[in-house]
Each structure stands twice: as C-alpha cells, then as structure tokens.
A and B are shown apart, each in its own frame.
Chain A
Amino acid sequence: MTPSALPLGDPAPADGILPAQAAVGAADRKFSLYAHIPFCAVRCGYCDFNTYTATELGGGASQDAYAETAVREVEFAARAMVASGLPARKLSTVFFGGGTPTLLPAGDLTRILGAAVAQWGLEDGAEVTTEANPDSVTKESLQELYDGGFTRVSFGMQSAVPHVLKVLDRTHNPDRVPQAVAWAREVGLNVSVDLIYGTPGESVADWETSVRTALSYEPDHISAYSLIVEEGTKLAAQIRRGQVPNIDDDDHALKYELADALFTEAGLSWYEVSNWSRTPEDACQHNLAYWRGDDWWGIGPGAHSHVGGVRWWNVKHPTAYANRLDKGESPAAGRETLDADTRAMERIMLTSRLSEGMAINTLSPEARKAVAGLIAQELVEPLKAFAGTLVLTLKGRLLGDAVTRALLD
C-alpha cells in the first residue's frame, strides 16, 4: 500500500547509508519488512496508490522481472543496514502490499520472501501477510503461498453490494469472496478482509449488508476504511463533475458507529481506529509496528521505510526503480531525519489511535492538562486516563485528529 504522491524531503545518498541516529537503540527495536508490488489488473476509480496496469507499463515485461529486482533491493537493504552500523535483527513481521501482490505468480512472492528470510531470518511465529484481490487467487496459489512461508492473507472485499462495488470500480464478483476466504482457511492462512464505507450511493442498509456479509465469513480480522476521495483520481473527477454525489462525513460517522457495534457484537474488538480483530493475537502485527513507531524497510517502487526516526521513500516508477538497483544504487527518492520534537509529535499522532493507548506520563505538562478537557468532551476513556493511559472513546476515535491536535497545542 503506497500512495502515489511522494513527500518532499532531503536528498537520499546513493549508497543507502543511514544517518547515525538510525542505529541508536536499534537492538531494542523490532524490525519488519514491507514489500510493495506495484501492479494491478485495472485501476480502481478511488485508488491513488502507486500501482500500474500492464497497459500503463507497456507490456508485462516489468512484472516478469519484478521479483528479481525486488530481491536485489532486499540484498541492498541488508548491506546498507550493516554499513550503517545497525545490529542484525530477525524480521518480526513481513507484509506484501500493493497494488495487487497476487497478480504475480505465488512463486515470485515466495522467492522475495525467501530472499528476505535468507538475509535476516524470521522470528518464531512471525506474521507474514499478503494483500490479495479476491479474483486473483486460487486454492493452489494460496497453498503455494502458505507453503512458502505466508501466514496471513488480507482480501480487498470492500463491499458486498454490487452497485457499491460498481461505483468503486471493483471487478470481482462478490461471490468470489467467501470462496477465497474458505480456501485460505483450508490451506491454513489467517484471514482478514478490507471494507470501505461511505461510497457515494451506499445506503446505511447497504453498509449493514456488507458488514454482516463480511462477518458471516468469520474472518480473524477486519479493516474498515472510510472512503477517501483522493485528488487526481477518477472518483474525484466524477464528484467534481457532479456525476456521483460527494461523500459525507456525517454518513461516515454513522457507518463507523454501526460497524463498530456489529463487529463488537460478533466478538471482534477494535485495536486501532480502523481495525478490529477476533483475539489480540489476530491483530495485524505489521500494522501495529507502523503505529508503534518500530523499524521497517519498505522495498519496491514508492515504498516507505522507517528506521530510528529516519524516514525515506523510493522512486515511484517501476522502471526508474529497477534502473537504480541495476546500477547498484539506492532506489530512495528522498528522506527526512526527524528531530526529537517531531518524533514526539509523531508518537502522539500514531499511538493515540491504538486501543492499547498512550502512557500519559510521557506527555508534556501542557498536553497532560489538555487531557482533562478531552475527558470532559467524552473523547477519552476516563477510567483508563485515571490509570495513566490515554485511550479514545468511540466518539474520540471519530474525532481522533482533533484529539491529537489538542495534545499538541
């Protein structure tokens, strides 16, 4: 999952060596790998992730050669980390995102995974996920993934309602989803589904149908995202031209509350604003690594990485990406080295979204004072706050950014 617009930052050196700050305290931090697969069969109208169709790339050649290029970045990453003075760490999670990773043959994905495991090793019981579109998997391909070390699959279900899927430009037949989930189960994979709510034209009843349908597949995990209208997408243009109605925050709020109620009733619990899991162990560990500020290396075009307060991102286009690696250079397009204040700010921004919450004693005196106001506004759980942890209420989850701003004033 990599959005298309890259941030502006400092230039990144060709040798990929990280600033000294990256290595400080690294031995005590977990390390994850993200692998971006920038290919899709078609581009969905709402999506601005860094992904390309075969036509956009002028043929399937770059898809065929992609695994090899990605493996090259794995090797480059391993060397650069050693050269930057980082200690050897086993991978605590791996996540293949897209685009549509399962558009590549399963063998390509397991090959990349294998190369990473060969470099770093894998912690016992580590979570290894791939995203998948329901119509790009077969039982055999899922079996191959499982055999190659994957433990978890996340399906882009989005909705169970045909007219909503149509507005979203999703090509899959909704009946494919239960089939794919069942196969994944059978081969031994842990299963998550992604849903999107608030699509133009989606009624509350439609959303309820999607939620109930998703629950009927009994997944271990559900992500529910409110539809974001990204600039430059087909959907944004359709809204601008009045061809589809605009999205509405109140509708989103209502649907979030409905989803949370139905998920909870079905025995799932929220652990992050947009994520629910059946048990705490089913929470996506890779996802948590992002919110907790752990280290990860992101390979692939446009992928983002973070190591010890250094963030960087790769060049976006698969060809530019491959060219860099062919020359033995870092594919990074830019990076930023966060200062202590910025890291503190990010920590608040990220950890306040989690059900495990944020330790109040790590906040500044002003921010600690602001907590009282947040309790009064019913945005923060009072009992948890008295016990020293800031945890959002349901209302607070919906106003999460306002909470963050209040804590940063």
Chain B
Amino acid sequence: MSPMARTAPVPAATDPAIIRNFCIIAHIDHGKSTLADRMLQLTGVVKQRDMKAQYLDRMDIERERGITIKSQAVRIPWEVDGTAYCLNMIDTPGHVDFTYEVSRSLAACEGAILLVDAAQGIEAQTLANLYLAMENNLTIIPVLNKIDLPAAQPEKYALELANLIGGKPEDVLMVSGKTGVGVEALLDLIVRELPAPVGDPNAPARAMIFDSVYDTYRGVVTYVRVIDGSLSPREKIQMMSTRATHELLEIGVSAPEPTPSKGLGVGEVGYLITGVKDVRLSKVGDTVTTFSKPASEALAGYHDAKPMVFSGLYPMDGTDYPVLRDALEKLMLNDAALIYEPETSAALGFGFRVGFLGLLHLEITRERLEREHNLDLISTAPNVEYEVTLEDKKVVHVTNPSEYPSGKIAEVREPMVAATILAPTEFVGAIMELCQTRRGILGGMDYLSEDRVEIRYRLPLAEIVFDFFDILKSKTRGYGSLDWKADGDQVADLVKVDILLQGEQVDAFSAITHRDKAYSYGVMMTGKLRELIPRQQFEVPIQAAIGARIIARESIRAIRKDVLAKCYGGDISRKRKLLEKQKEGKKRMKMVGRVEVPQEAFIAALTTAEAPKDKSKK
C-alpha cells in the first residue's frame, strides 16, 4: 500500500511523466462522488474534520438531491514506489441530462475509471459513458463499487464487465467508496496503468477549456487542461476562436480549494481568471493560447449542448418579470446549455421560453432560479421542438404550442432519439410493449449476459422525455435503465389540443400531441382542471378542442356554501387567520375571463400534464 505523498508535485514545474489525468464515470448513483471523497481523504487534500459526504457536490441543489450536476476537477498527490505523482481527478455527473458534462471532462483526461455498482451491475449510462470514453481513446479501469453491500454480486458483475471491455474478471478491482476498501489499490493502479500525458513543452501554448463558471466574487473561472506549452500568471492569453485577448489575473489548481500557482505546464489541469464577466467570452471547447506566442492550430472542440425540451417560465407575480430576466441572464453565465427568449402568454403574462437538455435540467434550473433569486415560478408543460412546413413551403420551428400555425400545414416533423434500455431479460416483453405504445421502432437487442439484455429503440423524443423513464422503472421493478441521444427527426401526425375555460382559450394549457393521443390529453386535462379549479359562484364549463371541434368537456358546478358556520368560543383570531389565508389565496389567483384560477392549479395541471398518455389509461 502506498503512503500519502510526502511532498506534492508543484504546479507549473511538474514533469508530465508523473501526471495522471482521469475521470470517474458511471451510471447515476453508482458512487462516483463517494469514491472521490475517499480519494480526497486518503491523499490528505481534505482534512478529516472538513470532510463531508459527496464533498465535491457543492451546490445546495446537488446536496439536497444527492446527485452531481457539475463535473469537478481536483488535483491530488499520490506516492508510488517512492515517487510522488500528481493526479487530476474529475468527478462527473451520472444523469443522462448532463452527459455533455461527461464528454467535456473526458477530453481533459487520458484515463477513466468505469465505476459499476456491485449490487446493480451495468446500466444504460454505464454503456453510454463507456462509449464516450472509448471514442476519446481513454484507457479504461473497470471498478466494482459498493462491495460492502450485502446485495453485492461482485463475481457476476466482474464477469459482465470483463465481457464488455475485454479482459479477465480477476482484473476488475473491487472497492467500497463507503468503507474505503480497495481505494488505495485503485490509486496505485491509476498511477501504474494510465498513460502520462504527452505534449510539447516548447511549442506555443494550447489549453483546452473544459468548463467555464461564473462566480460573483471572481468573475468567470475557466477550467483548462494544458496540451502543449505552458501558461503563466500576468501573461496575456488569447482565445483561439475569437482571437480575443485577456489579461491573466490568476492561474491555479483546485486542491480542491482554488490555489494560485506559478503556472500550468503540459498535461496539467487548472483554472484561469481573467476578469471577464461573461462565460460566453470564455467558451467551453475553445483553445487558450498566449498572445505573445500564439499557436496556429486550435484543438478539436466540442459540440454545443443542444436543448431538447422547452418550457415557458413565468413569474407568479408579474412584477417579478425583470427579476426573472436578470436571474436567467446570470444563470446562463454558468450554464451554456441554457437558452431562452422572451414570450407572452394571455393566461400567465410575461415570461420566457427556455430550452433545456431534459426534464431534470428543467427542474433544477427552475429550482435554482426560485431559490437563488427568491422567485415563485410557473413552468408550462414541457414540449419538444417541432418543424412545421406550411403549404406555401414556409418552415416554422415551434417550441411553444400556442405558436402552432393554424393555417394549412403540409408536414410536421418531430425530433427522434436513439434509446438504449438495459434490463433483466424477464422484462423484455413489458419494455417492448411500452416502447410500442410510444410509437417506437425496435432497432436491435443484445444479451449482455444470460439474464441481461440491451434493447435499442428509435422513439419520438416527445414520447420518452417526460414520464417514460418512471414508467420503465415501474415496469421493470426498478431494474431497467435508459440512455438516449438525439437521432434526427420524422414526419408525424400531430395536432394541437386547446383547453377552454368558459369558452376562453387558456394558452398555457395547449399541447401538441399525436392525433391518437389528443383525446386522452383532452380528457386528462379537463378532468384535472375540474379538480383543481375551485368552484365559483357560477358554473364553469371546461372544454378540450382541436380547432373548433370539442373533444372533451367537463364542468365545475357553482359553489353554494362558503361560510364558517361557527364562532369558536370567541376565538376570533382563528377565524381572522382563516380569512387572511383565503385572502392570500385570492391574491394568488389569475383571472381567466371571469374565472379565478389559483396559481396552484396552473402548476399542478402543468406538472402532471407531463403524462397524458398513461395517466388516462389507468
């Protein structure tokens, strides 16, 4: 076993031969961040008393949800056979919405630890992330985690892993991020197995930007991996895509707290601070060089993350619109995947149409906006982007159902995904049935082992992005996992369903659905609204319509009693509090025509509207 390194290699003066850059990749919840914790502890960079679980998950939202959203790179020292090495570890997120974070991290590394929960085995994001690592020509170290669990089946899954990446089951390392078992051996193995970075120390500097984060105190912090040459403080740097130059105010490494250094040399990972306030000027995927000795050829960058899901975000209180605008602007500084533009809704007022990578991304963004900027938001039912060709050949991109053209439509195309589902073989039938009802086309099926199968489907994005995963989970008793990526588009028979309250259309409730599912959406939504909208002093009809054709109707009967019958023995305070609560509730009402609709009804109707198809079947 190796001891903790006595003297850590100094940044800027580190021989690439003693550098190992790796990231930890896995399916969600397989224990990446917990393993990272043990590494931070064993290498001594985080003191015992400062340690807390998932140390690198720093955002409140990450801690509350127990998931990683942003990759984090940390420089850690480790000694093997008397030599102190410098390891750069990157903990990555496991959720499919944040796959783009993983791809960026991979580009900063020579190796990847492919972590697999020994009680769960290989899952869909295990495969997806492994695939990305192989695309990047990384050396893979397969590791089984959570071997302390009574339900762990290390032999079985070691065999599965060995089959997958080639090699012998005995070579699969067994660790427990919880107890620390095997982690020292893993650090040793990283040093021994992973290649050292190679680059030309004398060539003009080239560093790859793999992350760019806005910080209120420090401005934009740019995370880079140096490929060639070196960067040093007080030097002018240049962004190769724009040729924009910036003064380098600070350069350093994360250890894991930001630690200024004398510079960064070949193979090193660290951060740059230039005083720039906008992350778009320090773009992920760009190459940093020096102004005095610029490189001629940029490194291969990444594709921008493309938003897949759109939703309208509206402040509950209309006067908060400027706050929301500023908040989105700020958030975008940190989240290049976020795009938005202003829109208005007759029912909800002024807001923004925002594009997200997936539903989790939407949820998290909304929560951050609400929390960090003290906003109350309504988000409209999420939808995908449609390409509508009119008969006059004009093409319209629709991200908001209320903008769906009412004129003559020649063709509508919807985005498609290639989905991979992993599950025990016994669930194949149930999965196929589910995919069939979601208009899926079977692409193929492979057995990973005797009892586990990989099923590939081509599916409309709109069919999987909302509730598909939850249903898959319940149909496979929790064992199924899903990964998907964009896969072109297809022509589809889609219609827009409108919802009318007392004859007035409520734009926020309109939805674009497949023609076969329009009726269930209408029935579901009118039914929901009947439950959610309180009775008024008059009857309120609720209808669902395609164009002028009513496809579903409900009605809310007039209220007859709204009075507290009893004075509670002189407890007037109680009655007053009740009244104040009612008044507060009334303030949170939006008027749709004469109908008072509580904000809660909008939220509840819109959040549950995500599952029109299956809800209505049950």
Q: Could you tell me if A345 and B576 are in contact, using CB atoms closer than 8 angstroms?
A: yes
Residue B565 at the A interface, CB < 8 A? yes
Q: A400 to chain B: which residues have CB within 8 Å?
A: 562-564
Per-residue A-contact encoding for B575-607, CB less than 8 Å = 1, 0 else: 111010011001000000000000000000000
Contact status of A303 and B563, CB under 8 A, knowing A5-B574, A7-B574, A405-B583:
no
Q: Could you tell me if B563 and A346 are in contact, using CB atoms closer than 8 angstroms?
A: no
Residue A408 at the B interface, CB < 8 A? yes
Q: Could you tell me if B569 and A401 are in contact, using CB atoms closer than 8 angstroms?
A: no
Q: Could you tell me if B571 and A7 are in contact, using CB atoms closer than 8 angstroms?
A: yes
Q: A305 to chain B: which residues have CB within 8 Å?
A: 570
Name the residue on A nearest B564 (C-beta).
A401
Interchain CA distance A316-B383 in the complex, whole Å? 54
Interchain CA distance A274-B568 in the complex, whole Å? 12
Residue A253 at the B interface, CB < 8 A? yes
Q: Could you tell me if B569 and A249 are in contact, using CB atoms closer than 8 angstroms?
A: no
Contact status of A336 and B565, CB under 8 A, knowing A349-B579, A401-B579, A401-B582:
no
Contact status of A34 and B571, CB under 8 A, knowing A250-B561, A400-B563:
no
Q: B569 to chain A: which residues have CB within 8 Å?
A: 1-3, 34, 36, 49, 97, 298, 303-304
Q: Could you tell me if B570 and A296 are in contact, using CB atoms closer than 8 angstroms?
A: yes
Q: Could you tell me if B567 and A253 are in contact, using CB atoms closer than 8 angstroms?
A: no
Q: Could you tell me if A402 and B537 are in contact, using CB atoms closer than 8 angstroms?
A: yes
Main secondary structure of the interface of B (DSSP, over half): loop
Main secondary structure of the interface of A (DSSP, over half): mixed
Residue A342 at the B interface, CB < 8 A? yes
Interchain CA distance A225-B564 in the complex, whole Å? 9
Q: Could you tell me if A225 and B579 are in contact, using CB atoms closer than 8 angstroms?
A: no
Q: Could you tell me if A225 and B565 are in contact, using CB atoms closer than 8 angstroms?
A: yes
Contact-size category for A:
35 or more
Task: Report which of B561, B574, B576 forms a contact with A249, defined as CB distance below 8 A.
Answer: B561
Contact status of A290 and B573, CB under 8 A, knowing A225-B565, A405-B582:
no
Q: Could you tell me if A304 and B565 are in contact, using CB atoms closer than 8 angstroms?
A: no
Name the residue on A nearest B569 (C-beta).
A1
Q: Could you tell me if A228 and B574 are in contact, using CB atoms closer than 8 angstroms?
A: no
Task: Report which of B559, B561, B571 forms a contact with A304, defined as CB distance below 8 A.
Answer: B571
Interface positions, chain A 164-186, Cβ under 8 Å from B, are none
Interface positions, chain A 133-167, Cβ under 8 Å from B, are none
Per-residue B-contact encoding for A375-408, CB less than 8 Å = 1, 0 else: 0010000000000000000000111111011001
Residue A313 at the B interface, CB < 8 A? yes
Q: A332 to chain B: which residues have CB within 8 Å?
A: none
Nearest CB in chain B: distance from A159 CB, A: 15
Per-residue B-contact encoding for A191-203, CB less than 8 Å = 1, 0 else: 0000000000000
Name the residue on A nearest B571 (C-beta).
A304
Contact status of A405 and B579, CB under 8 A, knowing A36-B569, A296-B570, A304-B569:
yes
Contact status of A287 and B573, CB under 8 A, knowing A249-B560, A405-B583:
no
Nearest CB in chain A: distance from B281 CB, A: 50
Contact status of A3 and B559, CB under 8 A, knowing A401-B579, A405-B583, A408-B583:
no
Q: Could you tell me if A274 and B566 are in contact, using CB atoms closer than 8 angstroms?
A: yes
Chain B contributes a number of interface residues (CB within 8 A of A) equal to 25
Q: B577 to chain A: which residues have CB within 8 Å?
A: 7
Residue B572 at the A interface, CB < 8 A? yes
Residue A350 at the B interface, CB < 8 A? yes
Interface positions, chain B 534-548, Cβ under 8 Å from A, are 537
Q: Could you tell me if B579 and A404 are in contact, using CB atoms closer than 8 angstroms?
A: yes
Contact status of A311 and B568, CB under 8 A, knowing A349-B579, A398-B562, A400-B563:
no
Q: Could you tell me if B559 and A249 are in contact, using CB atoms closer than 8 angstroms?
A: yes
Residue A306 at the B interface, CB < 8 A? yes
Q: Could you tell me if B565 and A273 are in contact, using CB atoms closer than 8 angstroms?
A: yes
Name the residue on A nearest B566 (C-beta).
A225
Nearest CB in chain A: distance from B306 CB, A: 47
Interchain CA distance A28-B562 in the complex, whole Å? 34
Contact status of A304 and B562, CB under 8 A, knowing A346-B576, A377-B537, A405-B583:
no
Q: Could you tell me if A1 and B568 are in contact, using CB atoms closer than 8 angstroms?
A: yes
Q: A346 to chain B: which residues have CB within 8 Å?
A: 572, 576
Interchain CA distance A256-B566 in the complex, whole Å? 13
Residue A291 at the B interface, CB < 8 A? yes
Nearest CB in chain B: distance from A195 CB, A: 11
Q: A306 to chain B: which residues have CB within 8 Å?
A: 570, 572
Per-residue B-contact encoding for A309-345, CB less than 8 Å = 1, 0 else: 0010100000000000000000000001000001001
Q: A5 to chain B: which residues have CB within 8 Å?
A: 574
Contact status of A7 and B573, CB under 8 A, knowing A274-B565, A290-B567, A291-B567:
yes
Q: A303 to chain B: which residues have CB within 8 Å?
A: 569-570
Interchain CA distance A409-B579 in the complex, whole Å? 12
Contact status of A2 and B568, CB under 8 A, knowing A404-B579, A405-B579:
yes
Interchain CA distance A261-B557 in the complex, whole Å? 24
Q: Which of A311, A350, A397, A401 lies at the interface centre, i.e. has the most chain B CB atoms within 10 A of its CB?
A: A401
Name the residue on B nearest A97 (C-beta).
B569
Q: A7 to chain B: which residues have CB within 8 Å?
A: 571, 573-574, 577
Interface positions, chain A 235-283, Cβ under 8 Å from B, are 249-250, 252-254, 256, 273-274
Q: A232 to chain B: which residues have CB within 8 Å?
A: none
Name the residue on B nearest A349 (C-beta).
B579
Task: Report which of B565, B572, B579 forms a contact with A290, defined as CB distance below 8 A.
Answer: B572
Nearest CB in chain A: distance from B530 CB, A: 15
A-B CB proximity, top 6 nearest: A1-B569, A400-B563, A253-B560, A253-B561, A7-B573, A304-B570
15 contacts between A and B (CB under 8 A): A2-B570, A3-B568, A49-B569, A249-B560, A250-B561, A287-B567, A290-B567, A304-B571, A306-B570, A398-B561, A399-B560, A400-B562, A401-B562, A401-B579, A402-B537
Binding site for B on A (CB under 8 A): 1-3, 5, 7, 9, 34, 36, 49, 97, 225-226, 228, 249-250, 252-254, 256, 273-274, 287, 290-291, 296, 298, 303-306, 311, 313, 336, 342, 345-346, 349-350, 377, 397-402, 404-405, 408-409
